[in-house]
Amino acid sequence: MRISLAWLADLVALPPAAELAEGLTFAGLEVERIEEVGDDTVFEINVTPNRADCLSHLGIAREVSARIGAPLRAPPRGSLPRAFPGPQQALSAGRGGDLLPRAPAGASPVSRGAGDGAGEAGPGSLPAWLARVPAPPRIDAPDRCGRYLGQAIAAPGKGAFAAPSPPWMQARLAACGVRPIGLAVDVTNYVMLELGQPLHAFDLSAVQAIVVRTSREGERLRTLDGNAPRLVPGDLLICDGERPIALAGVMGGEASAVTEESSALYLEAAWFAPEGIRRTARRLSLHTESSHRFERGVDPKLPERALERAVRLLFGAVAGLTAAPPQAAEGRLPSRRPVVLRFARVGRLLGAEVPAEESRRWLGALGFVEERRDEREVELAVPSWRFDVDGEVDLVEEIARLRGYDRIAPSLPGSGRPPAAPAWQRPLALARAVFSAHGFHEAVHYSFVSRGDGDPAAPVELENPLGDEQAALRGSLLPGLCGSLRRALAHLPQVAGRPPAVRLYESGRTYGWPAADERTTGPARERWRLSCLAYGPRSPVDWGRGRGGEPVDFFDMKGLVEGLAEALGLPAAFAPSASPWLHPRQAASLTIGGREAGVLGELHPDLAERFELPRGVFVAELSADLLLAAYRPPRFSGVPKFPAVLRDLALVVAGDVTAAQVEAALREAGGALLEAAVLFDLYAGPPLPEGHRSLAYSLRFRAADRTLTDAEVAAVHAAIVAAAREKLGARLRG
Amino acid sequence: MVTAGQPQLLLGDLLERARREIPAAGADELEAQRVRLLGRKGELSALLRGMGALPAGERPAAGAAVNAARDEIEALLTARREAILREARAAELGGAPIDVTLPGRRIAARGRRHPVSEAQDDLVEILARMGYEVAEGPEIELDYYNFEALNMPPDHPARDMQDTFYVRPPAGARTAGPILLRTHTSPVQIRTMLARPPPVRICSPGKVYRRDDDPTHSPMFHQIEVLCVDRDITFGHLAGTLDAFVRGFFGEDFRVRLRPSYFPFVEPGAEVDVTCTFCLGKGCRTCKGSGFVEVLGAGLVHPRVLRAVGYDPEEVSGFAFGCGIDRLAMLRSGIDDLRLFFENDLRFLEQA
Ligand SMILES: [Zn+2]
């Protein structure tokens, strides 16, 4: 909201600009910018949605007055036709309003010249145009339209209402960021900026009888912006009889707009219920100055004052205007209940001593009226413009903000129960340490991915995405990591002719829909994953080891995953995997305690192509939920008391026998005495038979309670060889 | 060479030679000397054996002389051995130094933490020391927890402050109201309070989403929300806790400043400014000369929110505050474009 200080000074005495800005900011009306516009100063004030009453110069003036104690001034009265019927007078006729022929004698239309001159039509000489003054307005949706005031005004000829408004008015509008258009529109905008009441001016020739009603299915209205949005039941309309002429509180219709051709207009000042205006404005994306105010709440007592002010301004600007008396119709206004403040509650919530007197003084300055009071509490009528106040705590806030938050001394609440650390905290730190030690940088990607088109990998889609590339929520962390690799390869330089080494990991959620019988905390299934990607040379280039730089392979990724499992104290098992993300020949699943905890391997070549990546990208996607929950803190068991015996063993097996099978056979036959079996060589080729390979293990035997004899070791070694032969057809390598 | 009968004379010769030769011997020679002089078949042993021929009265004296000679020779040998080691060490140490300016070698490059996740850990730790437990909740939320229970019923204008992404419900599913991406971590407050009675002290860090994309707003960012509900919690407690929180993260010299503001789920509400990290309060372009930057929203928990979770606002009160972790990380590390955090450019990540 842009506030002109020159304008504001019409309404209240002002302190110097800098002091005023600080005062407003620390009363909750943040002055975001101060601008010099000609010889005026303009504040850009951030008005929070609860303070609709501050969307005008009057509203800001009230705040200034309450905070510094300066009395409010009435805006300059400007010109008002003599014998002009005051709104109260007109309204006294009650619901249904007045039509001139039935109006009391004193309420005759009057014209007069601009400025202070006299010039008026004598009583009884009613101009011909009054034949066209509409029937009194009718409200068919009383819960949606609490009041409707209208007034017809005629000029002696065409063009006066579309002519430029006075320069001073244009200057103030421009200072507030509103483009001057023509007198009628400028006056409505001026009054809105001054008092906060949105007004609308119709061409009188388009108005026979105002009816305020809700829309019917399929109705259309061409609005001032040139569109003809489809209306739905519940949109509030201003109609001329049956025909919609404005989208109430949002935007006027094109056909009833004031133009060069207009010689008379019908001014509207109404109160519309906020929720309905907001629904329509949002659905049609029609955010206007008017809807902005109505959906936040306009003072229901404002229409009379605003209408009178508008008429005064018009009369001041154009000579020879004639005005009919205002017409009014009443709907239902929301009832406002008084609010009780217990004096002790103020200090108890703020943690500061606030005397009852002081509380009363601040609230009085804001326009709250005491209806009942005793030692303990006071009952207050809420000013009609304060829609945001409906409870005691709202009053506490008013007192706190006007006193100043800085007058509340900071303190700390007493200590509570020491908090429990989340179970995942330590294992996550351990996992991070493993990634870090292996050179993996942590990445954080957007949760958005491009629309899945039914892709089961990203089934959760957004209704209103920012774009196609961000239309769904990720079902895997891998696309994000692959994207970052692609960008890295585009800009990272090679070193000594080798591709850059890229290592990334991410800890984050993936999203999907739960199965029919699945229980989830929120509406969707959110899984926590720990995923990583490795590409490029296994170790950094250095000057000592030459320039080997072999690219990472499956076993580097597996070594990382094993390291993670080890850090978490978890026994890991691996088996071939059919993950669609992975190269079918280089894909493994990780199993922890019989449950699948993730997959790892080479990125599937088809996917590498789709992500525009070279071959040789290795990835792992692990379940953080499972791994971190399974964490076992380390247990220690002293050091062995008896020596170990080492034996090497090389077994030749057929190519389809896996290392896991060989190791299982070794362990089973070796029993408790076989402490470790470390694979130290793998060989295939001559002189081994075609399709065979040799696995060489260093076996370590030890007993916990004695030194093993040669005979014992020989026996268990022989048993191992025999078992390998029987189970796997293995023979010793000669 | 050594014969019985002339033990004294020979002993003298032997010692004299040892005193001359041992101090000049090289490393290899030294062992030969030891064997020749002190070995089982060496010269001293031979002398001792020869003493059998001496008159009984002379034997003790002769024996003592031989033992004294043995001690002296051993001392000579030891001294020489040590001298040789010292010379060798001196020779080794005295050579040309290696080129210590050659680069060191790494087994693997050091992996870095992401600045946002690191800041999040720091914040959680600061809050843990102050008694706050981590609470988590879904990112895909129901409208009820994100807005309604937080005093933002449908058609509430404050919903405009948080432009929301809505999620298309799965085909055929019946859901309890609109599904959205949470716009703040505040729904975790509601879920936590619904699940347990007061007192409650929690912090909830995590990802949040708003339909915004420019250098200072990204459609996804991180927030941490703090909630304290107990008997007699005051606005003063909020101010004190914010002060400790900010000093814990930025440093002891940093100050907070509270300004009245509006968030529907708190009342009184406050916008919280912190000493500008760029100018340390002196005033600069970033802080528009004020010396402060806006980083937090805070306030006392609105009685309607307390009632919505079944707490009695006459019995307990509470405060809540929430802030963008990314923004705090930006301020702390001097980053001016939020989007850098989510581009994951290695040239950026490697600076951590
Ligand atoms: Zn600064």
**Residue B67: CB partners within 8 Å, gap ≥ 6?**
none
Asked whether B217 and B148 are in contact (CB, 8 A), the reply is no
Residues B224, B315, single domain; the answer is: yes
B153 and B284 together in one domain: yes
* Contacts of range A420-427, beta carbons closer than 8 Å, 24 or more positions apart: A420/B133, A421/B128, A421/B134, A422/B133, A422/B134, A422/B136, A423/A628, A423/A629, A423/A631, A424/A624, A424/A628, A424/A629, A424/A631, A425/B134, A426/A631, A426/A633, A427/A568, A427/A627, A427/A628, A427/A631
Query: CA separation (Å) from A362 to A20, A54, A400, A501?
Result: 18, 17, 9, 66
Do residue B194 and residue B322 come from a single domain? yes
Residue A398: closest CA among chain B residues belongs to which residue? B268
Per-residue pLDDT, A545 = 64
Residue A376: other Cβ atoms inside 10 A: 12
Instruction: List, as one string, the DSSP characters of A229-291.
Output: PBP-TT-EEEEETTEEEEETTTEEBSTT---TT-SEEEEEEEEE-HHHHHHHHHHTT---HHH
CA separation (Å) from A63 to A43, A58, A70, A401, B205?
Answer: 14, 9, 10, 11, 37
> Which pLDDT score, from 0 to 100, does residue B220 have?
95
Question: What number of helices (H) and strands (E) belong to chain A?
Answer: 19, 30
Q: Is B141 on the interface with A (CB under 8 A)?
A: yes
Q: Give the per-residue pLDDT at A547.
A: 59
Q: How confident is the model at residue B109 (pLDDT cuts 50, 70, 90)?
A: confident
Q: Which of B37, B58, B93 is the last residue of a domain?
A: B93
Q: Looking up tokens 């014992």, which residue turns up?
A: A712
Residues B288 and B338 grouped into a single domain: yes
ipTM of predicted assembly, 2 dp:
0.86
Is residue A295's pLDDT more than 60?
A: yes
Query: What is the per-residue pLDDT across A681-706, written as a single tens digit (0 to 9) for each?
Result: 999 998 899 999 999 999 999 999 99
Q: List chain B residues with CB under 8 Å of A526.
A: 138-140
B123 inside domain: yes
Asked if the model's pLDDT at residue A486 lies above 50, the reply is: yes
pLDDT of residue A111: 43
Binary contact (B140, A508; C-beta < 8 A): no
pLDDT at position A456 is 66
Shared domain for B183 and B238, answered yes or no, is yes
**In-domain check, residue B107:** no
In this structure, what CATH number is given to the domain that contains residue B218?
Answer: 3.30.930.10
Residues A360 and A449: their CA atoms lie apart, in Å, by 56
Q: Three-state SS for A650?
A: strand
Q: DSSP letter string over A28-69? A: T-EEEEEEEETTEEEEEEE--TT-GGGSSHHHHHHHHHHHH-
The strand pair at B166-167 and B179-181 is best described as antiparallel
- Same domain flag for B281 and B195: yes
Question: What whole-number distance in Å separates Cα of residue B161 and Cα of residue A373?
Answer: 38
* The A441-442 sheet, strands edge to edge: A441-442, A502-512, A525-535, A618-623, A595-603, A582-592, A572-576
Neighbours of A632 (CB within 10 A): 10
Token pair for B217: 């707003």
For residue B148, is it within any domain?
yes
Q: What's the pLDDT score for residue A88?
A: 36
Q: What is the pLDDT of residues A253-273, one digit of tens each?
A: 999 999 999 999 999 999 999
Q: How far is the CA of B341 from the centre of ligand 1 (A)?
A: 22
Nearest CA to A670 out of A731, A732, A639, A715 is that of A715
Evaluate if residue A22 carries a pLDDT over 70.
Answer: yes
Cα A54 to its chain centre, rounded Å, is 24
- Which of B93, B128, B158 is a domain's end point? B93
The arrangement of strands across the sheet holding A645-654 comes to: A674-683, A692-701, A645-654, A731-732
B103 vs A179 pLDDT, higher one: A179
Q: What is the structure's pLDDT at A728?
A: 93
- Domain boundary residue among B93, B126, B154? B93
CB-based contact A444 B116, cutoff 8 Å: yes
State the residue range of the domain holding B59.
6-93
pLDDT digits (tens, 9 = 90+) for A445-466: 999 998 865 566 788 999 999 9
- Sequence-ordered list of residues with C-beta below 8 angstroms from that of B163, at least 6 positions apart, any chain: B183, B210, B211, B212
**Contact between A526 and B140 using a beta-carbon 8 Å cutoff:** yes
Cα distance between residue A125 and residue A128, in whole Å: 9
| Tokens found for residue B254 | 């940093």
pLDDT value of residue A112? 42
Q: Indicate the residue of B102, B168, B262 with minimum beta-carbon distance to A543.
A: B102
Interchain pair A437, B271: CB under 8 A: no
Residue A121: pLDDT over 50 = no
Could you tell me the two tokens for B154? 């449908």
pLDDT digits (tens, 9 = 90+) for A620-654: 999 999 999 999 999 998 899 999 999 999 999 99
CA–CA dist A591, B115 (Å, integer): 32
Query: Do B148 and B66 lie in a common domain?
Result: no
Cis peptide before A687 (omega within 30 of 0): yes
Structural domains of chain B, count:
2
A172 Cβ contact list (under 8 Å, min separation 6): A4, A6, A7, A40, A190, A193
Which contiguous run of DSSP H or E holds residue A386? Answer: none
Q: Which two tokens stand for residue B166?
A: 């809505």
Q: Which of B138, B268, B352 sits opposite A397 (nearest CB)?
A: B268
* B window 270-299, beta carbon within 8 A of A: 270-271
Which residues fall within 8 angstroms of residue A112, CB to CB, at 6 or more apart? A79, A81, A82, A118, A119, A120, A315, A319, A320, A321
Query: So what's the pLDDT on residue A118?
Result: 36
Residue B7 confidence class, pLDDT cut points 50, 70, 90: low
Pick from B158, B169, B350: CB nearest A441: B350
Do the chains contact at A274 and B157, CB–CB below 8 Å? yes
More confident position, A133 or A205: A205
- pLDDT at A119 exceeding the cut of 60: no
Instruction: Enumerate the residues of chain B whose CB falls inside 8 A of the CB of residue A542.
Output: 103, 105-106
**Rounded distance, CA B223 to CA A349, Å?**
26
Residue A101 contacts B where some CB pair is shorter than 8 Å: no
Residue A123 has pLDDT above 90, yes or no: no
Please report which confidence band the pLDDT of residue A406 belongs to, taking 50, 70 and 90 as the band edges: very high
Which of the pair, B155 or A71, is modelled with greater confidence? A71
* Three-state secondary-structure class, residue A683: strand
Please tell me the distance in Å from B184's CA to the nearest CA on chain A. Answer: 15
Q: What's the gap in Å between B277 CA and the centre of ligand 1?
A: 6
Interchain CB contact of A517 with B (< 8 Å): no
Mean per-residue pLDDT over chain B, rounded = 90
The residue type found at B15 is L
Strand partners for A110: A323
As a whole number, mean pLDDT of residues B61-67 equals 84
Whole-angstrom distance, CA of residue B295 vs CA of residue B276? 10
Residue A730 pLDDT exceeds 50: yes
Query: Does a structural domain hold residue B108?
Result: no
Of A100-109, A355-364, B233-242, the least confident: A100-109
Identify the three-state secondary structure at position A412: coil
B182 shares a domain with B321: yes
pLDDT value at A98 more than 90: no
How far, in Å, CA of A339 to CA of A345, rounded? 13
Q: What is the pLDDT of residues B247-272, one digit of tens each?
A: 999 999 999 999 999 999 999 999 99
Whether B211 contacts B182, CB under 8 Å: no
Min Cα distance B145 → chain A (Å) is 10
- Inspect the interface and report whether the beta carbons of B240 and A447 lie closer than 8 Å: no
B171 interfacial to chain A (CB closer than 8 Å): no
pLDDT at A101 over 60: no
pLDDT in tens, A306-356: 999 999 999 999 988 989 989 999 999 998 899 999 999 999 999 999 999
pLDDT-based confidence at residue B96 (cuts at 50, 70, 90): confident
Q: What was the pLDDT predicted at B6?
A: 55
Q: Is B14 on the interface with A (CB under 8 A)?
A: no
Residues 470-489 of A with CB under 8 A from B: 470, 473, 480, 484, 487-488
Interface of A with B in 495-514 (CB under 8 A): 501-505, 507-509, 511, 513
Closest-CA residue of B relative to A520 is B138
Interface of B with A in 229-268 (CB under 8 A): 230, 232-237, 239-244, 257-262, 264, 267-268
Which backbone phi and psi does B11 adopt, to 5 degrees? -60, -40
Name the residue in chain B with its Cα closest to that of A424: B134
B197 — contact with chain A (CB < 8 Å)? no
Average per-residue pLDDT in chain A?
Answer: 89
Dist. CA B345 → ligand 1 center (Å): 28
What integer pLDDT is reported at residue A198 of this predicted model?
98
Give yes or no for a contact between A313 and A307, defined as CB atoms under 8 angstroms apart.
no
Q: How confident is the model at residue A110 (pLDDT cuts 50, 70, 90)?
A: very low
B30 with B125, same domain? no
What size, in residues, is chain A? 734
A312 contacts A84 by C-beta, under 8 angstroms: no
Does one domain contain both B69 and B164? no
Question: Tens digits of per-residue pLDDT, B305-319?
Answer: 999 999 999 999 999
Domain contains B34: yes
d(CA B81, CA A672): 51
The encoded tokens of residue B4 equal 């019985």
Rounded distance between C-alpha atoms, residue A415 and residue B199, angstroms:
11
The answer on B17 and B140 residing in a single domain is no
**Cβ of residue B341 closer than 8 Å to a chain A Cβ:** yes
Select the residue of B130, B235, B349 nearest A408 (Cβ to Cβ). Answer: B235
Residue A424 pLDDT > 60, yes or no? yes
Which of A363-377, A561-575, B4-18, B274-288 comes out lowest in average pLDDT? B4-18
pLDDT of residue A425: 94
More confident residue, A134 or A606: A606
Count of residues in chain B: 352
Spell out the SS3 assignment of chain B.
CCCCCCHHHHHHHHHHHHHHHHHHCCHHHHHHHHHHHHCCCCHHHHHHHHHHHCCCCCHHHHHHHHHHHHHHHHHHHHHHHHHHHHHHHHHHHCCCCCCCCCCCCCCCCCCCCCHHHHHHHHHHHHHHHCCCEECCCCCEEEHHHHCHHHCCCCCCHHHHHCCCCEECCCCCCCCCCCEEECCCCCHHHHHHHHHCCCCEEEEEEEEEECCCCECCECCEEEEEEEEEEECCCCHHHHHHHHHHHHHHHHCCCCCEEEEEECCCCEEEEEEEEEECCCCCCCCCCCCCCCCEEEEEEEEEECHHHHHHCCCCCCCCEEEEEEEEHHHHHHHHHCCCCCCHHHHCCHHHHCCC
> B155 to chain A nearest CA, in Å?
6
The alpha carbon of residue B262 is apart from the nearest alpha carbon of chain A, in Å, by 6
Residue A57's pLDDT is: 97
Let me know whether B147 and B244 are in one domain: yes
Q: Is B106 in contact with A520 (Cβ distance < 8 A)?
A: no
Q: pLDDT exceeding 70 applies to what percent of chain A?
A: 91
- Contact of A541 with chain B, judged by CB distance below 8 Å, is answered with no
d(CA B238, CA B260) in angstroms, rounded, equals 13
DSSP annotation of A495 = B
| Per-residue model confidence (pLDDT) at position B254 | 94
B237 in any annotated domain:
yes
Q: What is the pTM of this model?
A: 0.85
For the cut 70, the answer to whether the pLDDT of residue B1 exceeds it is: no
Residue-level pLDDT at A102: 32
Residue B102 lies in a domain: no
Residue B166 in any domain: the answer is yes
Q: What is the mean pLDDT of residues B90-108?
A: 83
